[in-house]
Every structure is written in structure tokens, then in C-alpha cells.
Chain A
Amino acid sequence: DGGITQSPKYLFRKEGQNVTLSCEQNLNHDAMYWYRQDPGQGLRLIYYSQIVNDFQKGDIAEGYSVSREKKESFPLTVTSAQKNPTAFYLCASSPGLASGELFFGEGSRLTVL
């Protein structure tokens, strides 16, 4: 089935460690997005990419990094510079058309101990 796969679903890490969250899509979508979700704050955009080898910072990019070497993959690294990394992370993809909706993965919940 076509869709977006995020892994792992749950992740625990010690403070100071870098963590990479995986996001893979087989929908042949050009655009991909990473959002962070915290209670009462909705979804905040971390990074987005419209095409391979190109990505842009979103509203809260500090402490995060991404790569887009393949169309189907958009991994997110949460670095030790991110001051409050515990959150629910959502990856999404979309056709390149301006009118296209986002298709979401099931999310990854990161807890930093």
C-alpha cells in the first residue's frame, strides 16, 4: 500500500545524544515536511523540502537537521543543541501542486531522559 512510514514509533534517548528519525514515502510526492507537535501548540514546522537536494528551514529549525538525497526519504536528526527535544514528530508529504493536501505518517514520539 502507498503511504508514509515513520520509524521508530517510540524512542528514548539520554540528554546530549543525537537522534535520527526516519521518514519514507512511496507516494511519489515531491514535497516533504517535518512537524513537531506539543500539547496545546498545534503543529509547528521544522523543515520542508520541495525537491531532492533542496530543503528550507521552517519556524523552529534550531537544533534540527535534515537531508533529502532521495525523493522518497527525508530523515530528521534531533541534535544535542535542541533544548527541549521531547515531543511527537510528524512527517508529511504532498504532491508538488499548490492545492495538494498533506499525507501524514503515524508519528514518532521521542522522549529524552
Chain B
Amino acid sequence: AQSVTQLDSQVPVFEEAPVELRCNYSSSVSVYLFWYVQYPNQGLQLLLKYLSGSTLVKGINGFEAEFNKSQTSFHLRKPSVHISDTAEYFCAVRYNSGGYQKVTFGTGTKLQVIP
């Protein structure tokens, strides 16, 4: 089974500063990688996804992520954060398990943007 590690449970950052949220997954076998954002008491929304091709993926709200196969990482970045980016961010991996598509999530990183 695949596992996803988000080492930072909370990341405080000042408004307009850059941020990187880290994500590592357990295997380099064929997987699809995703970042989702969750605002309080809501479901998750897709930020971006990596399927194949260019290792730099651009998403909504100015976020981007870089797929690094050798390091099995998929870190999320934004060059300048805004107060509205305060939320919890989840990294996820989708893979085939016994003919079924499973999706495993990391434990999440809470991004707190400080005015």
C-alpha cells in the first residue's frame, strides 16, 4: 500500500512571503499525485494534480508543485501568500491496488498566514 507523509502539521507564514508545504510518498511505482485544500467545516477542493509530463505543475490560486521521482516528493509552493490562503492542505496519491483505484491522503498541513 502507498503512504503519504506530510511532515509539517502547521506552517505559519507572514502575508506576501513565500511558502513551501512538503509531501513525500512511499513508492516510485506508477502513481498520480494531488494537492487539495480544505477550509473549515467544508469538503476538499482540488488545487492541482500531476499525471505525467512536465514535473512542474501549476494549479489554482497561484499554487504550483514539483514532482521529483528520485526523491518521491511532490512539494507545494506559492511565491507570495495571502490571508485567504489560510486553510489545511492535503497531499494525496492515487494508485492501483488489486485492480481497484485507491486514494491515500497525508495527515495534512495547516497553513496560517499572519497579517
B54 CB within 8 Å of chain A: no
Q: How many interface residues does chain A have, given as a range?
A: 20 to 34
A50 CB within 8 Å of chain B: yes
**Contact among A6, A45, A106 with B103 in the assembled complex (CB-CB below 8 Å):** A45
Residues on B with C-beta less than 8 A from A100 are 94
Q: How many A-B residue pairs have CB under 8 A?
A: 66
Quick check: A33 and B103 within 8 Å, CB to CB? yes
Q: Once the chains are docked, how many angstroms separate the CA of A96 from the CA of B99? A: 12
A63 CB within 8 Å of chain B: no
The residues in B between 8 and 57 inclusive whose CB is less than 8 angstroms from any CB of A are 9, 32, 34, 36, 41-46, 49, 51
| Known A102-B44, A107-B42; contact A43-B9, beta-carbon cutoff 8 A | no
Select the stretch in B62-70, B75-83, B105-113 that faces chain A: B105-113
Interface centre among B32, B44, B49, B102 (most CB of A within 10 A): B44
A2 CB within 8 Å of chain B: no
Which 3 residue pairs across A and B have the least CB separation, nearest first?
Answer: A104-B43, A42-B107, A43-B105
Q: A98-B96, A99-B49 are known; give 15 further A-B pairs, CB within 8 A.
A: A4-B43, A31-B101, A42-B105, A42-B107, A44-B105, A45-B103, A94-B103, A98-B32, A99-B94, A100-B94, A101-B34, A101-B46, A104-B43, A106-B42, A106-B43
Q: List 27 A-B contacts (CB under 8 A).
A: A4-B43, A6-B43, A31-B101, A33-B103, A40-B107, A41-B107, A42-B105, A42-B106, A42-B108, A50-B100, A58-B102, A88-B41, A92-B43, A92-B44, A94-B101, A96-B101, A99-B94, A101-B34, A102-B34, A102-B46, A102-B92, A103-B46, A104-B36, A104-B43, A104-B45, A105-B43, A106-B43
